[in-house]
Amino acid sequence: MAKYNITQDYIDYGDSRSGEELQNVEYIVSHDTGNPGSTAYNNRSYFDRIQPLASAHTFIDDNYILEIIPQTEKAWHVRYNAAKDNTLFGEDANDAAIGVELAYGSNIDFQDAYNRYVWYHAYLIDKYGLNPDTDIVAHSTLDPQRRTDPQNALHQNGISWDEFIQDVKEVYQTEFSEDGGATEPAEPEVKGVSVELPLDIGDEGQFVKEIQQDLIRTGFPLPIYGADGIYGEETQRAVMRFQSAYGLHVDGLVGPNTLAKLKEVLGSSSPAIDFPLPDKVLSLGDEGEAAKQVQRALKDINFDPGAIDGIYGPKTQDAVRRFQSMYAALANDGIYGPNTRKYIRMELND
């Protein structure tokens, strides 16, 4: 398993980040976000903007190991009135543990995210001299009446808690132990790469790309450049169309209100359903069960094809185009073929 970069992009001080010092790291609490499809930077944006009385140190998806609160500060990732942490470790998790969140679902490649999640746990084990058998605990163990994470995400992907711990131990032995030869702790290589709200012309990066993907999903295509991570005039025009359609102030900026409405329109992703997908090529004018299968799948991954009527009409063609624009490897032609089928299947299986 490769050595990964750690991105330190800390949120502002507030209810989510008090700045209180974390004296000693005695253990690690493993979480998942509980919000399928919400990326590491989606979570950073939420905690930085909303500042709820909750937080975690690190969010991990298939692109980032993202530390939003320094390891030297407390994060609010386990309820203080949940007594199990004191029973097991003698100290509250918020006062003595690093909270690590796994992002999963929707566009997130689970295997890539999981590899980073495992590696980061091994990195923390090495950095703080912890024991993976005793010093990693699931959030569900500490707050069993309210929480099921991270098993919620792990079990959906066929991984047990014991298998996860074994994976951490193997990576630790391979990359961090003296026997493995990698005794130097990994140091962060990327810092402060976020784009602050509001997003505007000239902004670039992963968060911009995610906003573009959200626009495409909600029916506001970017046919020239697609989701390229660059906030150009095409993206600005799509934002303005979105704002106009939903009664927002039309300024072409993605601020808190526009971002909240995007997430509201997209809604919460549900666990994937194994829809059958046709093997043949379909295009405008085709009809039948095969067209209906494509429509059902598109609707499940938030690309509205109109009525599920088995008619490959303009709305279905447009939904296919919007989906294709998410991937550089796909021709943006609105025709359902083998390559488009492959990527739709990949979305359904996330």
Mean pLDDT of 238-265: 88
The percent of residues in the chain predicted with pLDDT above 90, rounded, is 52
Q: Do domains 195-268 and 272-350 have the same CATH topology?
A: yes
Please write the tens of the pLDDT for every residue from 61-79.
999 999 999 999 999 999 9
Give CA–CA dist 58/70, Å, rounded: 9
Please write the tens of the pLDDT for every residue from 182-203.
444 455 544 444 566 788 999 9
The dihedrals phi and psi of 322, each to the nearest 5 degrees, come to -60, -40
Domain formed by 272-350, architecture: Orthogonal Bundle (1.10)
DSSP 3-state of 298: helix
Taking the domains of the chain in order of start, what are their residue ranges? 7-190, 195-268, 272-350
Mean pLDDT of the chain: 87
Per-residue confidence at 146, pLDDT binned at 50, 70, 90?
confident
Peptide bond into 150 cis (omega under 30): yes
Strand 27-32 to 97-102 pairing: parallel
pLDDT at residue 138 above 70?
yes
| pLDDT for the residue 188 | 52
CATH topology of domain 7-190: Lysozyme-like (3.40.80)
Mean pLDDT of 193-220: 82
End-to-end Cα spacing for the chain: 21
* Residue in this structure with the two tokens 């163990």, named with its chain if needed: 141
| pLDDT for the residue 271 | 36
Tell me yes or no: is domain 195-268 CATH 3.40.50.1220: no
pLDDT at residue 181 above 60?
no
Question: Is the Cβ–Cβ distance between 78 and 143 less than 8 Å?
Answer: yes
Give CA–CA dist 293/305, Å, rounded: 11
Distance of CA 115 to the CA centre of its chain: 14
Mean pLDDT of 166-195: 66
Tell me which residue of 241, 266, 265, 264 sits closest to 252, measured CA to CA.
Answer: 241
